[in-house]
Amino acid sequence: MKKIGVLTSGGDAPGMNAALRAITKTAFAQHIECIGFLNGYDGLVENNHVVLKNKSIANIIHRGGTILKTARSKAFLSKEGREKAFQTIQSIGIDAMIVIGGDGTFTGAEIFGNEFDIPMVGLPGTIDNDLFGTDYTIGYDTALNTVIQCVDKIRDTALSHHRLFVVEVMGKDAGFIALRSGIASGAEAVLVPEFENQSDQLVQRLKQERRKDKQSGIVIVAEGDDSGGGSALTALLKEHLPLYDIRLTVLGHIQRGGSPSALDRVLASKLGVRAVNALLENRKGVALGVKGMDVSETPFSKAIKHNKTLKANLVELIAVLGQ
């Protein structure tokens, strides 16, 4: 193997740069050239690339975002776009690809790898932690830390004003961020897309607690919860709980930025090194991840099936500790 391509795609995640650094360094050690495609799969379609050098990856381990930029490529969704991407691969002489991203990134890798018989290895880079086959995704831990720092601050003002705060966190289909940040920040309740109709129960519970003179608290809701997310939930609570003073904070994209945590840097470094070695061992069509302390491998087709479930013990924990 002489040349590998690498790209970051989908929503950015803190630690993507650390992964790019590890990939490039490992490739260099094996005398493999590293080509970085810009703006996700668009870079492949449009042949928009940079040759990664030592200089390109110096001093990036601590930086959030991605030096290769990212996108959710529309062009790559079509056969025509992927044919152009294949022409790029041929014209540059790329032997294999490493893609860093989430669900959509792995779906693209699975289709493209099969269509044109290109060895593709994926690294889980998303704050959502919703990929099957790995305990953690790169960026999740940093996002959690960002959320709890914010909630700690919100709690100060909530207590001072005797207010109930609804805090909306990211997670269209998955409640991983909501659940773990809820436990870590001592939230009174957490609403996630995985469980239905939680908002009615919450209204009943808060009514009872108000009778016991509870006035302030934190409710964390994932954006994709069936209550409709932060603003719909806040409206519902205001309608049914007139005795509470209720405010909403939508954390939004602040959750995706910032310097990666130690955990994310180590995870990204470990998986970046393994990705190059996996290609050297002729592995293809697999997403890497971690299970306990070990690096895991999952076929793309399995990783993207949306069947990663919330850990039952954590769900129980919030039920007990949120009371």
Residues interacting with ligand F6P, by CB under 6 A? Answer: 11, 126-128, 170-172, 223, 256
231: region left, alpha or beta (phi > 0 left; psi from -120 to 50 alpha): alpha
Residue of 42, 103, 128, 130 with catalytic role: 128
Nearer to ligand F6P, 92 or 250 (CB): 250
Enter the tokens of residue 68. 């290769």
Place of tokens 């529309």: 74
Nearer to ligand F6P, 26 or 146 (CB): 146
Nearer to ligand F6P, 5 or 124 (CB): 124
CB of 299 vs ligand F6P, minimal distance in Å: 22
128 is catalytic: yes
CB of 82 vs ligand F6P, minimal distance in Å: 22
Reported as type and span, the H/E element at residue 86 is helix 79-92
CB of 102 vs ligand F6P, minimal distance in Å: 6
CA-wise closest residue to 288 among 133, 153, 141, 65: 133
CB of 252 vs ligand F6P, minimal distance in Å: 8
CB of 175 vs ligand F6P, minimal distance in Å: 11
| Cα distances (Å, whole numbers) of residue 239 to 232, 244, 248 | 11, 10, 14
Q: Determine the Cα–Cα distance for residues 187 and 182; give it in Å rounded to an integer.
A: 5
| Strand duo 286-291 + 120-124: pairing | parallel
CA-wise closest residue to 220 among 190, 198, 245, 197: 190
Rounded to 5 degrees, φ, ψ at 131 are -95, 130
Reported as type and span, the H/E element at residue 147 is helix 140-161
CB of 208 vs ligand F6P, minimal distance in Å: 32
Rounded to 5 degrees, φ, ψ at 14 are -60, 130
Give the nearest residue (CB) to ligand F6P. 11
Reported as type and span, the H/E element at residue 132 is none
Q: Quote the Cα angle for 72-13-310, to 5°.
A: 95
- Sheet strand arrangement including 96-101: 49-51, 33-37, 3-8, 96-101, 120-124, 286-291, 294-299
Question: Which positions are catalytic?
Answer: 128
